[in-house]
Structure 1
Amino acid sequence: MNQNIVEKLEHLGVVLDQNQIRQFDTYFNLLVEWNKVMNLTGITEYNEVWEKHYIDSLSIIKVMNMKQIGTVIDIGTGAGFPGLPLKIAFPHLKVTLLDSLNKRIKFLDTVIDSLELKDVYTIHGRAEDFAKQATYREQYDLCVSRAVANLATLSEYCIPYVKEGGYFIPYKSGEIDEEIDLSKKAVQVLGGKIRKIEKFELPGTDIGRSLVQIEKIKSTGKKYPRKAGLPSKEPIK
């Protein structure tokens, strides 16, 4: 890992030991290798993976004290972002990774085994199905997602997983004011409250990011999430 990346991590307030750096590098190698046969990411250059995947994932510490978090679920995790970088950087976390594509789950299982990570679980399926199950519903201190759905839709998929007093934090692109306005009703109906919006640029880049801190202040009504397709077709207004 070069000095430039070390400085960007320090700027964020993250210090990694040699084992964690080795885990991130192994993850990178597996990502590039598997990406040759399946579409995991358009970003495969070492420094860019650090900046746009790893450091981006870890930027959550701008709005959350991860030491106070025990359980995390990552909805629509894809190639494992942000869930796996969070697990590597904060080994105490119990992390669940959910994705609808089985090929990606097989990749994630390979990474978990290769990195010898404990307390990381993968689920193959749709967010709206598992959110109805008592094993997962309102069981997590924190739900994260880098999925591209609008915030109203994403909230319906994610907030049901969060326990009261926990948080949902979506990773959004820089300009988010209009999307926030359009999602306020949905967040409220689902039992959440927007506490904080942190806008910034990823260190050393001109990539704008917004982290939205949504606290779960009351239980989510049983009708949510609605059946597949409805949250995106007809967001709560």
Structure 2
Amino acid sequence: MKYFDIMNTSSNNEGLEFNEKKYEQFMRYKDLIQEWNEKVNLTAIKEDEEIVKKHFIDSIKVFKFKELKSAKNIIDIGTGGGFPGIPMKIIKPEINIVLLDSLNKRINFLNEVIKELQLKNIKAIHGRAEDFAQEAQYREKFDVAVSRAVANLTVLSEFCIPYVKVGGYFVAMKGPAVEEEIKSSKNAIRMLGGHIEHIEKVQIEDSDFNHNLVIIRKIAQTHKKYPRKAGMVTKNPLV
């Protein structure tokens, strides 16, 4: 139980329960990441301790945003290897989570993780964020959209905000230097019906790793023309 104490401390610091069953799920998840990473590009982070701190604890830290604890329906957009969605599900099993990714190989991996860890009320779907956001069963249906995807905040907001119901939140997990991104994305976020509420600074215990949670509240419905068609969002970002 090499990493139990740091994961337990980190969870408790955010007011979350941690136990041996959850720890075992995380360790099995770690093993699956390392096994599948041989054939599918899931992460450049491969060492045990790095996976625990930079993927698992980092994902758990999204709950530093307190309102997230009462959210029932969450979508993780551009989830990749399942971050932050699967750690969120392990640590708080009662939430409903959708994992969205555009690469089918990663969806196959996520389905294997869901099966192996015996997770309930979670599904992985294959497709583009801009396509599913136009479908009635997903558009403005979530309490929270989260994303740790590597994209500019303006682009990420157009992908994510349309999924959030009015009164809900988009939580973007960003690196330590985010001020310029925030400044340049404010108008686009307003156009999409959002408002930057605050920035939550996050420090990972027992490390020098830190980042920010950009908390965006959905204050108005997103116009049906957003998100735009595939390719348009990244080629011509909103200004």
TM-score, normalising length: structure 1: 0.96
Is this contact kept in 2: 1:57–1:85, CA < 8 A? Answer: yes
Structure 1 residue aligned with 2:193? 191
One-letter amino acid of the structure 2 residue matched with residue 85 of structure 1: P
- Please name the residue that 1:32 is paired with: 34
**Bigger mean CA offset, 64-73 vs 25-34:** 64-73
Tell me whether 1:140 sits opposite 2:142 in the alignment: yes
1:72 and 2:47 aligned: no
- C-alpha separation between the residues in 2 aligned to 1:10 and 1:71? 23
Partner of residue 156, structure 1? 158
Residues 33 and 93 (structure 1 numbering): CA distance in 2 closer, same or farther, change over 3 Å? same
Matched, 1:89 2:84: no
- Number of aligned positions between the proteins: 237
> Using the alignment, how far apart are the partners of 2:116 and 2:7 within structure 1?
23
Alpha-carbon separation, structure 1, partners of 2:91 and 2:7? 14
In the alignment, is the contact (CA less than 8 A) between 2:176 and 2:212 conserved in 1? Answer: yes
CA deviation digits over 1:58-89, x for unaligned, max 9? 11122233331000000000000000000000
Partner SS state of residue 226, structure 1: coil
Flag structure 1 segments of 5+ consecutive residues without an equivalent.
none
CA distance in 2, matches of 1:58, 1:65: 14
**Alpha-carbon separation, structure 1, partners of 2:14 and 2:147:** 20
Q: Report the alpha carbon displacement of residue 25 of structure 1 after superposing the two structures with TM.
A: 1.0
CA contact (8 A) 1:66 1:90 kept: no
**Which residue pairs with 1:122 in the alignment?**
124
**Counterpart amino acid of 1:149?**
A
What corresponds to 1:53 in structure 2? Answer: 55
Partner of residue 22, structure 1: 24
Query: What secondary structure is seen at the aligned counterpart in 1 of 2:66?
Result: coil
What is the distance in 2 between the residues matched to 1:204 and 1:13?
18
Q: Is the 8 A contact 2:104 2:126 kept in 1?
A: yes
- Contact kept? 1:174, 1:207, Cα under 8 Å: no
Contact 2:65 2:200 in 1 (8 A): yes
Contact 2:63-2:69 within 8 A present in 1 as well: no
Work out whether 1:112 is the aligned partner of 2:114: yes
| Segments ≥4 residues shifted beyond 4 Å | none
Question: What's the C-alpha RMSD, in Å, of the aligned pairs?
Answer: 1.3
SS in 1 for 2:130: helix
- Identity level (%): 50
State the Cα distance separating 1:229 from its structure 2 match. Answer: 1.4
Paired with 1:135 and 1:6, the residues of 2 have a C-alpha distance of: 36
Q: Structure 2 counterpart of 1:40, which letter?
A: L
TM value normalised by structure 2: 0.95
Paired with 2:120 and 2:10, the residues of 1 have a C-alpha distance of 27
- The DSSP-based 3-state class of the residue aligned with 2:171 is strand
Please say if residues 12 and 18 of structure 2, whose CA atoms lie closer than 8 Å, have aligned partners that are also in contact. no
How big is the shift at 1:205? Answer: 1.9
SS of equivalent residue, structure 1 residue 65: helix
Q: Which runs of 5 or more residues in structure 2 are unaligned? A: none
**Is the contact made by 2:144 and 2:164 (CA closer than 8 Å) also made in structure 1?**
yes
* Whole-Å separation in 2 of the counterparts to 1:73 and 1:138: 11
**Is contact 1:152-1:186 (8 Å) kept?**
yes
